[in-house]
Chain A
Amino acid sequence: MSGADNVVWLGTPPFPEAARTALADTRLRANLRRATGTIRDKRLAVAAELEDWEELRETAATIKRHTLRHLDHHLLRLEKAVTAAGGVVHWAADAADANRIVTALVKATGEDEVVKVKSMATQEIGLNEALADAGIRAYETDLAELIVQLGGDRPSHILVPAIHRGRSEIREIFRREMGEWGRPAPEDLTDEPRDLAEAARLHLREKFLRAKVAVSGANFAAADTGTVAVVESEGNGRMCLTLPQTLITVMGIEKVLPSFVDLDVFLQLLPRSSTGERMNPYTSLWTGVTEGDGPRNFHLVLLDNGRTATLADEVGRQALACIRCSACLNVCPVYERTGGHAYGSVYPGPIGAVLTPQLVGIENAASLPFASTLCGACYDACPVKINIPEVLVHLRAEAVEAKRRDRLLPTTEALAMKAAGAVLNSPRRLAAVQRLAALGARLVARDGRIGALPGPFARWSGTRDTPAPARESLRAWWRRTRPPTGEDSRTTTERKG
């Protein structure tokens, strides 16, 4: 499996179609609404507690912008610092490259299993599958990621991968699958959160104590000290990062920060934006290897996988500033109703809709930039001020251009847009169409309302009545009731279109 195949899940239909399936799942919608609603309210409350919240956002956005502009420089600094601290840095151009590097590193230890800290980057490259192909079993230790893995499922949220699952579903998955992977769930397991957590704890403890190799992602890495950081809520990350002898971290190149002190800003923003907490329960920082403490070997795999190409796009590159907090998902009305699987990618929601098409090429995810009403709630929520609506619209233009390049004949939509353009570029033609529309509407309207319509408008008119176009447009009314004074020629003449 190549990386692009995992950033975009092969076989997932375009968004509108995948969304239809999700919408029909009432349990999914209820789970999502409850979960996103709760996090949304908590986030607003804790963000409001900080008087300098807006300043923090601005600072974070500035740091990210600056870092991305000089990314090569900071990555080389990071490599130098990590190496000096006793770590080994590897550069991976794409997913296949990264998977090859990690697989070889695990093989070199002689082990055939690894414990994993929840990581978007390793999801993105399909690492678990690549390791499995090499006979190595990867155990997810994040509770939600464990639920996804045991369920043979895919993550549907950046932060809460199993957000689409309810308690009773989780109980079923634990009962059915845990025994296959290690310690089975207790016979009398209930669907109480406390019992479920306890079952997971016992199941995972066995893994932590046995593991010699761990694989993690990284939330941040400081270029000046070579320090890598992971934040998490359950302590399983901490276990993976301290107990095993070998630690392999896979990190997207955009995660680097110029300096250790920059963490000050991001460790305030991230937990408040993601889980609505003032501080995340566990923050693990490590710098290379330390004699007598933690892993003996540390490898940092720096992953490109489409990021350099994204960086080249002046508008789109801001998506690389994302700190994976998922605030945009939790406020997005489209995500709330469709869930993450509809986006057909490891990165769902508004950020996924702008990140995925850039990582894999617009032609491979052309429906995603259109999976938004452009309501702008995501932009308001983003702690690093990524203008997601701006990037969405930018990518829509790219999607249309890509279609124009690839097709001999224009699409129906392109023809309609061309026709609409011709009308809207001329007041005279617009007035003519208005007269026609008024006439046509009188034939189909009943009490000034139009019911079901054929063709492209069937999907609109299935659930909504449409008011009939006015008998007299405003421009016609104005001409009739307010003859031009002649003072302003623009009111009477028309520019030749």
Chain B
Amino acid sequence: MRIALFITCFNDTMFPRTGQAVTTLLERLGHTVEFPQGQTCCGQMHFNTGYRPETLPMVRRFAEVFAGYDAVVAPSGSCAGMVRDHHRVVAAQYGDAALAEAVEHVVPTVYELSELLVDVLGVTDVGAYFPHRVTYHPTCHSLRMLRVGDRPLKLLRAVKGIDLVELPDAQSCCGFGGTFALKNAEVSNAMLADKMRHVQDTGAEILCAGDNSCLTHIGGGLSRLRTGVGTMHLAEILASTEGDVR
């Protein structure tokens, strides 16, 4: 299958390792991964902060750059959710009929990583090996916008050597919320504090999630408190094999 990687602007800049892991993983499963260099951003930050007209060029770009692939994969539930739930809205509000059609064409090919693996490629055991104690935080947009359900957990359970422990109150929001963390910093911190407590209660070495933005928020707090708990994107755990030296 010819799969385009939509890395997302945030991962591109901050977490290229996640994109490399997605590539390694999909190529290991026998697929062709391409990286359209014209890609930039899904427009979520502008859309969710109320800067809607500014989102239009990004929607236009996305529909153009990612047209014609068998599948487009995003290692972010939040950005995949933006494309799937809101690109149509923006196209309808500001775009022309041609754009609306282009969006209609590309949106059904866009998948979050766990969806692509489980639903499209039909695998749950991706041949990974990761001998660490891990707990998984289901990010809100994966959970409620995309409804990925237990797909990520199915994938993690199939990882060899992993000690997967349940995160208490897992479905509670971590308090990131994009610009919410800046606009309502105190509320965000209060939510973060509870999330960190739950993570620490598990005794996990690694907190895993499908969104690096939430992980940056939670991991940033865990780091400031010198907890020693690390964070890893789902893709990186799934890409790990016995050959890797950690």
Contacts and interface: CB of A to CB of B under 8 A. Distances in A.
A338 B187 contact: yes
Given A374-B177, A470-B16, A16 B186 contact: yes
A66 to B, nearest CB: 23
Interface in B163-211: 171-173, 175-192
A210 interface: no
A460 B12 contact: no
A334 B219 contact: no
Interface string A376-410: 11011000000000000100111111000000000
B79 interface: no
Contacts of B51: 397, 400, 414, 417, 421
A331 to B, nearest CB: 9
A414 B46 CA distance: 10
Interface in B68-98: 86
B103 interface: no
Interface in B14-69: 14-17, 19-20, 34-41, 43, 45-52, 54, 57-58, 61, 64-65
B61 A425 contact: yes
Contact of B184 (A19, A380, A479): A19
Nearest to A485: B34
A380 B173 CA distance: 14
B144 A464 contact: no
Contacts of A16: 183-187
B37 A425 contact: no
B144 A475 contact: no
A243 B186 CA distance: 49
Interface string A332-376: 011001100000000000000000000000000000011111111
A459 interface: yes
A475 B54 contact: no
Given A399-B50, A463-B224, A467-B219, A373 B11 contact: no
Contacts of A51: none
B182 A373 contact: no
Interface string A433-444: 110010000000
Nearest to A470: B16
A370 B224 CA distance: 27
Interface stretch (A145-153, A177-185, A230-238, A488-496): A488-496
Given A19-B187, A467-B219, A482 B13 contact: no
A279 B15 CA distance: 51
A393 B219 contact: no
B137 interface: no
Interface in A443-497: 449, 456-457, 459-460, 462-467, 469-470, 472-475, 477-479, 482, 484, 488, 490-495, 497
Given A424-B41, A427-B38, A462-B185, A373 B58 contact: no
Contacts of A426: 40
Given A16-B186, A370-B184, A396 B191 contact: no
A19 B187 CA distance: 7
A373 B173 contact: yes
B184 A470 contact: no
Given A466-B216, A470-B15, A334 B184 contact: yes
Contact of A19 (B64, B176, B177, B186): B186
A267 interface: no
**On chain A, which size bracket covers the interface?**
35 or more
B140 A374 contact: yes
Nearest to A370: B183
A427 B190 contact: no
B106 interface: no
B162 to A, nearest CB: 23
Contacts of A490: 36-38, 64-65
A484 B73 CA distance: 19
Contact of A379 (B12, B144, B171): B144
A342 to B, nearest CB: 9
Secondary structure class of chain B's binding surface, majority of residues: helix
A220 interface: no
B159 interface: no
- For A23, A338, A482, A491, the residue with the greatest tally of chain B CB atoms inside 10 Å of its CB is A491
B176 A474 contact: no
Nearest to B51: A417
B37 A467 contact: no
B144 A371 contact: no
A464 B140 contact: no
Given A333-B191, A473-B13, A373 B140 contact: yes
A430 interface: yes
A477 B19 CA distance: 10
A104 interface: no
A48 to B, nearest CB: 15
A15 interface: yes
Contacts of A497: 57
B177 A424 contact: no
Interface string B104-127: 000000000000000000000000
A380 B141 CA distance: 12
A20 interface: yes
A132 interface: no
Nearest to B33: A482
B46 to A, nearest CB: 6
- For B13, B179, B191, the residue with the greatest tally of chain A CB atoms inside 10 Å of its CB is B13
A29 B191 CA distance: 12
A162 B235 CA distance: 46
Interface of A: 15-16, 19-20, 23, 29, 333-334, 337-338, 369-377, 379-380, 393, 396-401, 413-414, 417-418, 420-421, 424-427, 430, 433-434, 437, 449, 456-457, 459-460, 462-467, 469-470, 472-475, 477-479, 482, 484, 488, 490-495, 497
Q: Closest 9 CB pairs between A and B?
A: A373-B177, A464-B220, A396-B50, A376-B144, A400-B50, A375-B173, A459-B185, A474-B16, A375-B140
Given A420-B45, A424-B43, 19 more contacts: A29-B190, A373-B180, A374-B177, A376-B140, A376-B144, A377-B144, A417-B45, A424-B9, A424-B46, A434-B12, A434-B13, A460-B185, A463-B224, A464-B192, A464-B223, A470-B16, A473-B12, A474-B11, A490-B38
23 contacts: A20-B186, A369-B50, A370-B179, A370-B180, A373-B176, A373-B178, A374-B180, A376-B141, A380-B144, A417-B45, A427-B37, A427-B39, A457-B182, A459-B181, A463-B189, A464-B220, A470-B15, A470-B17, A475-B37, A478-B35, A488-B34, A488-B36, A490-B38
